[in-house]
Every structure is written in C-alpha cells, then in structure tokens.
Structure 1
Amino acid sequence: MSMFYAGRHRGPSHPSQVGKRAGATMVAVAAVSLGTATIGAQSATAAPSATSAATFSGLVKQGSRGTVVKQIQQKVGVSADGIFGSRTAYAVKRWQRSHGLTADGVVGPRTGTKMGLGSTTTRSSRTTASSTARTNFTGLVRQGSRGTVVKQVQRVVGVSADGIFGSGTAAAVKRWQRSHGLTADGVVGPRTGSAMGITGSTRSTTTTTSRSTTRTAVSSSGIINTAASLVGTPYVMGGTSPSTGFDCSGFTQYVFARNGKTLPRTAEQQRQATTRVSSPRVGDLVFFGAPAWHMGIYAGNGQMYDAGNSRVDTTKRAIWTSAVTYGRV
C-alpha cells in the first residue's frame, strides 16, 4: 500500500534507512556550523593582530637627542633638529593638553604610545646620558665661563651652544643634574662633567676668562647691533636663546652676554644689578615697574628692542608709557 508524501507518491522507506538519512543530515549541518564557527573564531583572533600598535616604553625629555626626538618634533610641529630643548618641551605640553594627557612636557610610555612612537625606537634616547659618560673630566665650568667646553655642556643640556655660560645655561645644567641624580648646583665639576662626557680641563682658563669679562666695557653699538639682528625671534616664556625663543629678560641677558657682560636672569634682578640713570642713552636697559615686570633695550628716540609677549615676538617698537626707569650696565 502506498503512502502520500508532499504531493508525490513514494514507496515506504525502511525505518533504518530513514534514521540513517536523518543522522547524515544532522551530521552535515553540524559540520557546516562547526566550520563556520571555526572560521569566525579564526577571523576574530586574527583581526586585532593586524591592527595592533606598538607600545612605547621609552622616556624622552629636555636634554635628550637623536632620531626619536626628531619623530616627536615632527609630531608636535616644531623644527626637527633632534635636540629636545625648551621649545620642544613647550610644544609637547600643548600636544599633551590637546590629547587629554598630563601636560608635563615629558614623552613617557603613555604620551609616546599616543603619538605612535615604536617600542624599540627610544633605546638611544634613554641611554644618551650613560653612553656619553666615557671621560674623566677634571675641569670646573660655571656661570661666567666661556669657550669650547661651555659649548659642549650647552649641547648636552639642550640650550643654544654660544659658548657663554650664563644663567640660562646654569638653570639647564641644574635640571640635567637633578634628572641624573647629581647635586643640582649648576656647576659642571669633575663628577657632572664626567657624567656628561665632557672632554678637556678648564680649571685655569675659566678663572682667567671670568676676570677678563668683568673688566670688559659694554659697547652700546654692539648691544644695538646684536639686538637688531634678533628681531623676529619668537617669544617663549622662559626662553633664553634664538633657538628656543626669548622672554623679555632672556632677550636682554642674551644680548649683553654676546657683548661680554653677564646679567642675572629675571627683569627685577637685572634692574637691581644696574645703575639707575635719568638721561638714558642707546644701549641702556628700560624697566617697567618696580619690581620690574617687563624690560627692553633702549634704542633712542623713545623706542626700544624687546621680546614682548605671546602675541609680540622680538621687535623694535615705541615705549608706550612714561612710567619707566632706565638702568646702565
């Protein structure tokens, strides 16, 4: 007797054959499902490895040098000279603030990873100090010193290498000493000099140079010529050189140092270090306020050279108020 199946007449199947067919179908479905899950699992595990980024594990900060510093400088938009100076630190802080990071100006693991720096690219930066410590320095270099050894020191601490050990260099030396576990006195003696990798001995020449500097008369024409040559240098808070930018007292300190005279660092310190005059002449210092909150170099005819503020770079402009005093070095 025939049975009716889905509109067709079909002979009855043996129960064992029905079971075999059903079992085969279930096995096939399970195999397809298992294969799909396996492929999906493989895809899920493969995707992250294709897009994972290297984790930065270095530490790059003011005073560091090398190719990693150049990468950082390119990322934060400053000149990529490979020297991590104050301008680079300032730009790093801006970048950190804009990316929700602690704005300390130091490129550590978190900032470096965010910047996309590689995990193995900081070895030279992290070992810069130790790799240069290969000398037995026996000299003594400090504020007031000049010469090629001072230039070596300035290159290590990341300031303009003009060969004049002023207060800006002393401050940078102190920072370097603190970061390397040394006494932060701003003086490069045997221990600091050896750690920096400085070559040569300057104990005798340093004293002679300092004394001769004290006796050097300041040339007003030299002061004005130097000041004029720096017009256009960017204003940077704390800046003390053309390579990093100037603030007002950093500008005057640099100009006078280039003409053989060492001045203190701040505007008020410079006001106190000068002789007040009522009839200014070209090359005298102009002070705003007492204590001084701003200053410049008198250029004659009611004008001055100064590093203004974040909106006014180093320039020559009119003295806008009569409430000023003048000091002569």
Structure 2
Amino acid sequence: MTDLTAAPVLVLLDHTADGALRTPVREIVTLAAGLSGGAGVHGAWPADTEPSPDVLAELGALGVTHVHRVVADADLHLSAVLGEALASLADATGARLVLLVSSFENKEAAARLAVTTGAGVVTDADGLVVEDGRYVASKTVFAGTWNTRCAVTAPLAVVTVKANSVTVEQVAAPVTPTVAEHTVTASAGARRVTVVERTERPASGRPDLGSAHVVVVGGRGTEGDFSPVEDLADALGGAVGATRVATDEGWIGHDAQIGQTGVTVSPRLYVGAGVSGAVHHRGGMQASGTIVAVNSDADAPIFEIADFGVVGDLFTVLPQAAAELRRLQSEG
C-alpha cells in the first residue's frame, strides 16, 4: 500500500496582480497541510510578482514549507504554459497530489496538466481524504442531486476544490517557508496561443463571485432592475450573481451567471431574488450552505430546495431586509 503522507502536496498559490492571496487559496492550503503528513506543503507562485514577507508569514502559519517562484519563458496566464509548469514542479518535488482552487482557468490548467502527466483529475471537489493508499475526492453531480466519491488510481492526483469547502486553520507549529525559483521552458505546443491584450475588470468592491461567503442572485423577476439585489449584497458584504435569463437579456454581464453553463458557487448563504430555480441554475448553487428564496410565485421550483422562503415582491422584500441589516449593524 502506498504511503501518500510520505510525498509532499503541491498547491497553486493564486494571487491578485498586487500579490495578495486569493481567499480560497487559504482553504486548499489548509487541506494540503492535513494530507501531507510530514512531507510538507509546496506552493507554486506564478512569478508575475514577488511574495511579500506578510504573505510568506501567512503561508507559513498555514503549513506551507516551500514556496516555488515559477518563472517561465512564456505567459503563465495561458493554461497550457501553467499546466506544463505545474507538471515540471510536481516532478521536481515528488508531489503525488496537486491542489488548485476550482475556477474556469484552473480547471483548464488541470486538464492540461493531466494530459502532460497522465494524472487523474477531479474538478469541483468539496472534500478530499486518503483511503487505502489513494486520494478520494467527494463532489456533487447531476445538478446537486447525487453525492459521489472519486478515487484517483493514477500515480498523480490533480484536484480542483470549490471555494467555501474547507475551514481555514493554522498549523500548531508555524514555519518559515523556503523560497526558491523554478524555471520552466514552455513547449512549442504551449506557445501556439499568445495573449494579445488583457483588460482588467473594473473593481466593484465586492468579493469574487466564485469564492464569496454570501451571494445574492437576481433572476427574471428583477425585470432588469438589479439595484435591490446589489443593495442587499452590499449590506451583507456579498457578491452579486444572476441566472442565465438575466445575463442573456443583457441585464448584467455573463461573468455573473451561476449554473451548469456559468459559475459554480457554494456560499454559506445564497439569496435568490426572482429566481425560478431551473435545473441548470440549481446545478451551480445547490451545494450552498443556507438557501433563501424570494419569489412572488409560490409554486416556483426554487422553494423545493430553499431553507427559508418568502413569497413576495422582491422590490419590497429586499429593500426592507437591507434596511434592517443596516439598522442592526449600526446598533452593533
């Protein structure tokens, strides 16, 4: 039987352009620390910035023992280049497990990594354990109706983990990570795609949709007016999402779409306003911790999975809820 705790775990350290760790990275680092045993946690840091002393201290408190500043002769934002870089680093460290935050970009990089190495891939996992010498990931499928467990039989496991799946915990004995540079030469195949332009999204001040603890979602019932949805999201410190109908109508950008063909979210609190609860939308949010539905149609399918439902006009209910939240916050 293979002792996986004798091999290090490799984690992709996603960060913003100014070098701040993205929130879900702390979760997968916590997961890695619990799975690595004494072999250590190695972090892959794409070298568009340098990890600051504060970031290194935080990573050390979470159990990261080594940080590899990955330098490539091609753009690491390209999934093919990032996949090859992770393959090279996994080989150099002897890692048997690579963890990434579950996002569109990272799932594509995970697929590229699997093609390069022959690894077994599980995407959108919400848990990971070691059983009988194998990594076994848990995830929901078929619009959240089935809970599955996937055992990776390949020598290398690549797992993307949904945000809000792991409680962040510091290790008992913090360490100072060793920082080293890892240089990668991209293949001719990885170079076939080039980045010709990059446009930064305008800052909204709200958390990222895929990793937010609170998400307020607007559907057809908004009739294009997302102001009460945005106001409640701001009162809760949450992100704003939408159904496919709302994005197709042009009421909000497609990057806000939640569902099987959009972003998959698993916040601690989901609030759906004017959302019918069609199966393709439920597939992207049914793993949420607490589901609150506000809809004027008492027969809307969303009420079948809601923990708390309000039959009423969202343009009345949401402003009242936001006002009450702000009143309570001011008193606290």
TM-score, normalised by the number of residues in structure 2: 0.24
- Structure with the higher helix share, 1 or 2: 1
- Structure with the higher strand share, 1 or 2: 2
- Bigger relative CO (Cα 8 Å, ≥ 6 apart): 2
